[in-house]
Structure 1
Amino acid sequence: MATPAPESEPIGSPLPESQRRYLEHLRVERRLALRTLCLYEQALRRLCLLADEAGIALERVSVQQVRRWVARLHGQDLSPRSLALMMSAWRSWYRWMGRQGLVDLNPVDGLRAPKSAKPLPKALAVDDAVQLVAYRDESGDPVREASDAALVELLYGCGLRVSELVGLDLLPGAAARGWLDLDAAEAHVLGKGSKQRMVPIGRAALEAVRAWLQWRGDWLAPGSTEAALFIGPRGGRMGATQVRQRLSLRAMAAGSSSHVHPHMLRHSFASHVLQSSGDLRAVQELLGHANISTTQVYTKLDFQHLAKVYDAAHPRARKR
């Protein structure tokens, strides 16, 4: 994970001797990268400025004081990631000071930075999703084309996780992780926590799967008993990495401007069903979420969609 850049660089008088020694310890003994050393130095400079403003010696800073400073900096829009890095530098310095016998208390121990807001899941717009699943390559390998079309239709049409997709077998069995009942138009999948659920299969996905089954034998070795619904050119069960690669290539061929991955199609499925139905409980069941709180993130995507419609359509929302 990339180290967050500082949002402002405190500038002050030279660092105290103890902090200069600590940074030298990090450079020589811990061999931290120059970028990390710079970030630590900036965090320590900020600590010095805050202590100076409060008229408190660094060695006498209390837990309550650090908590107030963190709350103040958070209120000044310092990001949670930057606060976490800053507090890590402070905590580490005070820990080093304790080992040197220079402080009795580490005022940062037990304190945590505010939590970062979870990013909303990325979903395709309805038109973009339809364009992707409707795409057909008539000039390529017909076996690969049939396989790709079927897996894309199932990912978007059923909201499957990629692990659930590659776990599908042709028929139920003792070792089956999931299977399709084409006559009943149902996918029986094994989700997280080994929880089974049934998901309806739409007409387009059914047609794509049946078309793939007509070609599937071309990739099987004579006498093969492979049970997997989706197999690779060598006749073995397709893996999640293969699905990601195939989907990414197909999205580019279909003209998608986004990097499309399997979970994005699952997010798109959930968002689009919620937009059309407004039934959060039904979406929860279709996705196999144990808690409704996990599904509620899609209400925010739904609101974003409604807000865009409002901004584009309502005369009082338009910018003048």
Structure 2
Amino acid sequence: MEEPSPLSSQTALHAAFECARAWLTESATLAPKTQAAYLGDWQQLQSHLHDQDVIKPDQIDDRRLRGYLAHCRESGLDNRSIARKSSATRWLLRYWQKIHIACPASPDALKSPKAAKKLPDAPAIETMNQLLDQPMVEDELLIRDRCMFELIYSSGLRVAELVRLDVHDIDRSEGIARVTGKREKTRLVPVGGKALDRVALWLPIRKTLLKDTTEPALFLNRRGQRLTIRSVQMRLNRLAQQTHLGQTLHPHQLRHAFATHVLESSGDLRAVQEMLGHESLSTTQIYTHLDFQRLAQVYESAHPRAHIKKQVKSTIVSEQNERKIEIPD
């Protein structure tokens, strides 16, 4: 007897969403936070379509989806949230196309609005030195923590990339690391001397924590298991408090600091793009806007005809700081 199609149970629309959810959860190469956000967006879209008496995917056309996004805007969502919902919907439609679920709506017809943007908060060089240049102690986990944060700052890693590092990903003789980033893309990044020194201190301690000799993870917890993203976030805030920084820190801010400080010193935007793993150069260009006030001061002191009146200069800097620019990831 022929098995019934999965789209014959309940409504065809419900079954189509269930297929997509199973695929996204089990197979899609998305960061966990993005995956969770998309699942929530799909649930909202499904509820909206249900309220519109849509019971089959082939009832969904471009006009209906534009109406859904307009409804999101009328509900008070900002451009950033609507842009994410557009992206989530495109993923859904492309998956349905892949498994031959008929749906007239085109993924390419959904245009994302420009998101509200702001400058990333990059800690100053002095802050990074205060965080990382503390006297060495015999606390095993503190040695591990300083190794992790030195690596993020040294190589511009995302926290998800950090926790995915295996021991064999670090080539200490060459001073490079193989990093697995978004959508499973790998890249080679340089590792600085201080970070390599921290790795050398951590590896013998790692051996004492190891419970399973087949565990490849570079960074382990007390139970000998791979460290989680949440643990890294908590340990960074703890270290920030211990070093009396007077501020909380997120691991992503160390990545911002890497990009900002390297670009300020080198001016090589393309190299920074490669090290960060950005697909688009426009994403990296955010860091060219970070230090306008310093550039204005240099210009005023160096250019023979650049004696900007203080009131004018203050207005320029204020306008630059108010610009809203995308936080890169």
TM-score normalized by structure 2?
A: 0.56
Q: Provide the residue aligned with 2:107 in structure 1.
A: none
For 1:168, give the aligned amino acid.
L
257-266 or 289-298, larger mean C-alpha shift: 257-266
What's the counterpart of residue 82 of structure 2?
none
- Once the two structures are superposed, the pairs formed by residues 89-104 of structure 1 within 5 Å of their partners are none
Structure 2 residue runs of 5 or longer lacking an equivalent are 1-72, 79-110, 312-329
SS of residue matched to 2:179: strand
Any idea what SS the aligned residue of 2:220 has? coil
Q: Does 1:233 align with 2:222?
A: yes
Greater radius of gyration (CA) = 1
**Residue 249 of structure 1, aligned match among 238, 245, 261:** 238
Deviation at 1:145, TM superposition (A): 1.8
Match of 1:122 in 2: 121
Instruction: Report deviation, 1:304.
Output: 4.2
- State the superposition RMSD in angstroms: 3.1
Alpha-carbon distance, 1:152 to partner:
0.9
Q: How many residues align?
A: 206
| Corresponding residue number in structure 2 for 1:187 | 177
- Counterpart-to-counterpart distance in 1, 2:298 and 2:238: 31
SS of the residue corresponding to residue 189 of structure 1 reads strand
Q: Is the 8 A contact 1:310 1:317 kept in 2?
A: no
Partner residue, 1:153:
150
- AA aligned to 1:263 is H
Q: Is the 8 A contact 1:122 1:267 kept in 2?
A: yes
User: For residue 238 of structure 1, what is the amino acid of its counterpart?
Assistant: L
Cα distance change on mapping 1:311 and 1:142 into 2, 3 Å: farther
Q: Which has the higher helix share?
A: 2
Residues of 2 paired with 1:116 and 1:83: CA distance? 16
Q: Please identify, of 157-166 and 246-255, the stretch whose mean Cα deviation from structure 2 is larger.
A: 246-255
Alignment-derived partner of residue 296 in structure 2: 307
1:296 equivalent to 2:285? Answer yes
The amino acid that maps onto 2:124 is A
Amino acid at match of 2:254: L
Question: 1:8-59: per-residue Cα shift (whole Å, max 9, x none)?
Answer: xxxxxxxxxxxxxxxxxxxxxxxxxxxxxxxxxxxxxxxxxxxxxxxxxxxx
Q: Check 1:162–1:308 CA distance in 2 against 1; reply closer, same or farther (3 A cut).
A: farther
CA deviations on 1:51-109 (whole Å, 9 max, x unpaired) are xxxxxxxxxxxxxxxxxxxxxxxxxxxxxxx998499xxxxxxxxxxxxxxxxxxxxxx
**How far 1:306 sits from its partner (Å)?**
2.3
What are the superposed Cα offsets for residues 197-224 of structure 1, whole Å, 9 maximum, x if unpaired? Answer: 0001110000001000121122123x53
Matches of 2:209 and 2:141 in 1, distance apart? 10
Matched residue SS, 1:263: helix
1:207 aligns with 2:197: yes
Q: How does 1:45-84 map to 2 (within 5 A)?
A: none
Misfit runs of 4+, over 4 Å: 308-320
* Mapped partners of 2:77, 2:125: distance in 1: 42
TM superposition shift of 1:277 = 0.4
Deviation at 1:142, TM superposition (A): 2.0
> Structure 1 residues 118 and 209, CA, compared in 2 at 3 Å: closer, same or farther?
same
Q: Is residue 217 from structure 1 mapped to residue 207 from structure 2 by the alignment?
A: yes
Is 1:284 aligned to residue 284 of structure 2?
no
Q: Is the 8 A contact 1:137 1:145 kept in 2?
A: no
Is there any run of 5+ residues in structure 1 with no aligned partner, and where? Answer: 1-81, 88-111, 172-178
Tell me the amino acid that sits aligned with residue 134 of structure 1.
D
Kindly state the Cα deviation for residue 193 of structure 1 after the two structures are TM-superposed: 1.7
**Alpha-carbon distance between aligned partners in 1 of 2:174 and 2:292, rounded to the nearest angstrom:** 34
Residue 115 of structure 1: how far off its partner (Å): 5.1
CA offset at residue 146 of structure 1? 1.2
TM-score by structure 1 length?
A: 0.58
